[in-house]
Chain A
């Protein structure tokens, strides 16, 4: 049943390898080497190798920013999963027509620039935005609520922006899912919760992990949404790095922070994959049972 493996020329991999070298490996090496350099007097880069940038980054203030970014990206990923899973489930079980319509609806936001989308969110939830006006009219609130500044608004922007990255991989894995397995689970006496926990989630794990990675990775380095929706008050690792390069003109320090960010993403990925991709079928618990 294995798909027949044709012998193809390894030369076909050359464009990909070239791309990878030119646009990833070489720039990354430059960033790495900058991170060990020193800031010049007028903002240039002086190559005097030292650890200073990293020891500076280990400062409490920066670690806290890093931690806040990690927290925001994690919460965004989990929220996207919680909101996206039912969406993907509905899409996968819908009839053909409805399914294509829903797919288009999920993809449509990509047609507009995300800065525009972020502004739209800002306006919608702004002090004089329609939501506040509506609530005022209804008498639910006495004066306009300030939703558009702060953590809630950042989270809102992040989730709306990244939701499609979660929904699409989830949809792909739910689309391949054999829904008669759910019936079999119910038939064997499983409650809805057990069916979800013991059948649906384990069998769509790949989609879940892919979605989490797709959301978490860019969310960790996000700097535009916190800027626009957080009123530039919330400092995240993304903003910090941008600032080093564009405002402070401390490229070496920015490079060091970038390296830390990359390290963090890679660590998270390794942990995700370790935890989630034990792809072999679950071993029966015979050993455990014998001891019991």
Chain B
């Protein structure tokens, strides 16, 4: 069990990590996720002992360890650019940590061979580092770290230098390695998909603050802050006001769209109906893949926005539809899985369509607590519907967003 107690770090008066508190279980694959400059790497380096915290404490199994220098912690780090020693062979690189610990040479021999076998690099033992490809260097960096049997393995964006295919392959290898070794992995990344794929739990960071900690599913389906909602995946966002509070539902009126929308607790009960007063202003968020696109207005309690189909983006597994709302002119994004049923194109650009979704799929956030953000994002209110689809835009839109949880 690793515990971080309100860790803070300031560089030249600029706060980089603002009071991070976390507890990380043994054997967990834990990710620190956030845009560049959010303080995730600094947090990791404080764990490794490379940076000294300005204040706060780190505890491991009831012992305070932030006072120990890096070489006395039972942690090992995989560096972003690997930091392999260019003057040593592959074999000597992997053996380095054991040599420093004065392990007997016969044990070094067997453990290095074993570690190289685990990353399938046996045949490269005598090679020099400069002759290896990025993926191979990555494996050696991993082997060099885990051979020391660290209690915690720290990984600083280890896959970011690899191309997509190799990255996906290394993700699988990392996971199976972690399952075999049973070490705690703390993994820093800015790639939300990577974090969702690999992690047992994720801490989403923004501007030095941990916004939310949870399983990938919790983070994706039940974001607690606007930043988390926008940073991970894409999100449709519209602003409104609570116009009716029912025992099992809320009604949100959106003046710009001249419509009202129904909100219910999620079907699995993980997201209860928020307790919000009548007439408070709120934000309603819906994931694009929860929306359906159809030619006629949906029946029953389904929410819908009517508009014109502006764009159809075929992306292989999914098709992205951009629907321009009739009333406000803003864009709603719909992702539709390309199954055998929908593969045939039934919609054309310019069609009049309805984008609809269930009341159970709505995420509602208090709109008032975001005064700080509204000033930086003045166009948002006017349109009523706002979509953040790419990671870049969501990251910029989310700047300074620290929304009160509901």
Within 8 Å by CB of A186, from B71, B85, B89, lies: B71
Query: B241 → chain A, closest Cβ, in Å?
Result: 52
A284 pairs with B76, CB closer than 8 A: no
Query: A245 → chain B, closest Cβ, in Å?
Result: 46
B293 at the interface (CB under 8 A from A): no
Query: A2 → chain B, closest Cβ, in Å?
Result: 12
Q: Which residues of A contact B81 (CB under 8 A)?
A: 178, 180
Q: Which residues of B contact A282 (CB under 8 A)?
A: 87-89, 92
A280-B128 in contact given A188-B144, A189-B100 (Cβ < 8 Å)? yes
Query: B398 → chain A, closest Cβ, in Å?
Result: 30
A75 at the interface (CB under 8 A from B): no
Query: B363 → chain A, closest Cβ, in Å?
Result: 40
A184 at the interface (CB under 8 A from B): yes
**Residue on A nearest B130 in the bound complex, by CB:** A281
A183 pairs with B79, CB closer than 8 A: yes
A188 pairs with B148, CB closer than 8 A: yes
B101 at the interface (CB under 8 A from A): yes
By size class, the interface of chain A is: 20 to 34
Q: Which residues of B contact A203 (CB under 8 A)?
A: 85-87
Q: Which residues of A contact B126 (CB under 8 A)?
A: 283-284, 286
A200-243: CB near B (< 8 Å → 1, else 0) gives 00110000000000000000000000000000000000000000
A191 at the interface (CB under 8 A from B): yes
Within 8 Å by CB of A284, from B71, B87, B125, B129, lies: B125
Q: Which residues of A contact B29 (CB under 8 A)?
A: none
Q: Which residues of B contact A199 (CB under 8 A)?
A: 85
**Residue on A nearest B87 in the bound complex, by CB:** A202
A289 at the interface (CB under 8 A from B): yes
Query: B229 → chain A, closest Cβ, in Å?
Result: 35
Q: Which residues of B contact A186 (CB under 8 A)?
A: 49-50, 69-71
B42-80: CB near A (< 8 Å → 1, else 0) gives 000000111000000000000000000111000111010
- Name the residue in A178, A185, A188, A191 with the highest tally of chain B Cβ atoms < 10 Å from its Cβ: A188
A187-B86 in contact given A292-B105, A292-B106 (Cβ < 8 Å)? no
Within 8 Å by CB of A183, from B50, B86, B91, B101, lies: B50
Q: Which residues of B contact A280 (CB under 8 A)?
A: 128
**Residue on B nearest A286 in the bound complex, by CB:** B91
B97 at the interface (CB under 8 A from A): yes
Q: How far is the CA of A189 from the CA of B108 in the complex (A)?
A: 15
A189-B128 in contact given A178-B83, A203-B86, A289-B105 (Cβ < 8 Å)? no
B109 at the interface (CB under 8 A from A): yes
Q: How far is the CA of A181 from the CA of B91 in the complex (A)?
A: 17
Query: Which residues between 85 and 117 of chain B lie within 8 Å of chain A, taking CB atoms?
Result: 85-89, 91-92, 95-97, 100-101, 105-106, 108-109
Query: B41 → chain A, closest Cβ, in Å?
Result: 12
A194 at the interface (CB under 8 A from B): yes
A289-B108 in contact given A188-B144, A284-B91 (Cβ < 8 Å)? yes
Q: Which residues of B contact A198 (CB under 8 A)?
A: 96
Within 8 Å by CB of B48, from A187, A191, A288, lies: A187
Q: Which residues of A contact B106 (CB under 8 A)?
A: 289, 292
- Name the residue in B71, B77, B84, B144 with the highest tally of chain A Cβ atoms < 10 Å from its Cβ: B71
Query: B357 → chain A, closest Cβ, in Å?
Result: 48
A124 at the interface (CB under 8 A from B): no
**Residue on B nearest A187 in the bound complex, by CB:** B77
A281 pairs with B69, CB closer than 8 A: no
Q: Which residues of A contact B86 (CB under 8 A)?
A: 203, 281
A162-198: CB near B (< 8 Å → 1, else 0) gives 0000000000000000101101111111110010001
Query: A266 → chain B, closest Cβ, in Å?
Result: 28
**Residue on B nearest A186 in the bound complex, by CB:** B70
Q: Which residues of B contact A286 (CB under 8 A)?
A: 91, 109, 126
Within 8 Å by CB of B100, from A180, A194, A284, lies: A194
Q: Which residues of B contact A281 (CB under 8 A)?
A: 86-89, 92, 128-129
Q: Which residues of A contact B88 (CB under 8 A)?
A: 281-282
Query: B98 → chain A, closest Cβ, in Å?
Result: 9
Q: How far is the CA of A202 from the CA of B108 in the complex (A)?
A: 22
B76 pairs with A187, CB closer than 8 A: yes
B298-311: CB near A (< 8 Å → 1, else 0) gives 00000000000000
A188 pairs with B76, CB closer than 8 A: yes
Q: Which residues of A contact B71 (CB under 8 A)?
A: 186-191
Q: How far is the CA of A202 from the CA of B85 in the complex (A)?
A: 10
Q: How far is the CA of A187 from the CA of B48 in the complex (A)?
A: 7
- Name the residue in B86, B87, B89, B92 with the highest tally of chain A Cβ atoms < 10 Å from its Cβ: B87
Query: B313 → chain A, closest Cβ, in Å?
Result: 38
B205-235: CB near A (< 8 Å → 1, else 0) gives 0000000000000000000000000000000
Q: Which residues of B contact A178 (CB under 8 A)?
A: 81, 83
Query: B178 → chain A, closest Cβ, in Å?
Result: 19
Q: How far is the CA of A233 from the CA of B128 in the complex (A)?
A: 54
B89 pairs with A184, CB closer than 8 A: no
Q: Which residues of B contact A185 (CB under 8 A)?
A: 85, 96
Q: How far is the CA of A61 from the CA of B70 in the complex (A)?
A: 57
B95 pairs with A184, CB closer than 8 A: no
Q: How far is the CA of A219 from the CA of B174 in the complex (A)?
A: 56
Q: Which residues of A contact B69 (CB under 8 A)?
A: 186
Q: Could you list 17 examples of A-B contacts with CB < 8 Å?
A: A178-B83, A180-B81, A183-B50, A184-B85, A185-B96, A186-B49, A186-B71, A187-B48, A187-B75, A190-B71, A191-B71, A203-B86, A281-B129, A282-B88, A283-B89, A284-B126, A286-B91
- Give 17 A-B pairs besides A189-B148, A281-B128, A292-B105 with Cβ atoms closer than 8 angstroms: A178-B83, A180-B81, A183-B70, A183-B83, A184-B85, A187-B76, A187-B77, A188-B100, A189-B100, A194-B100, A198-B96, A280-B128, A281-B89, A281-B129, A282-B89, A284-B126, A286-B91
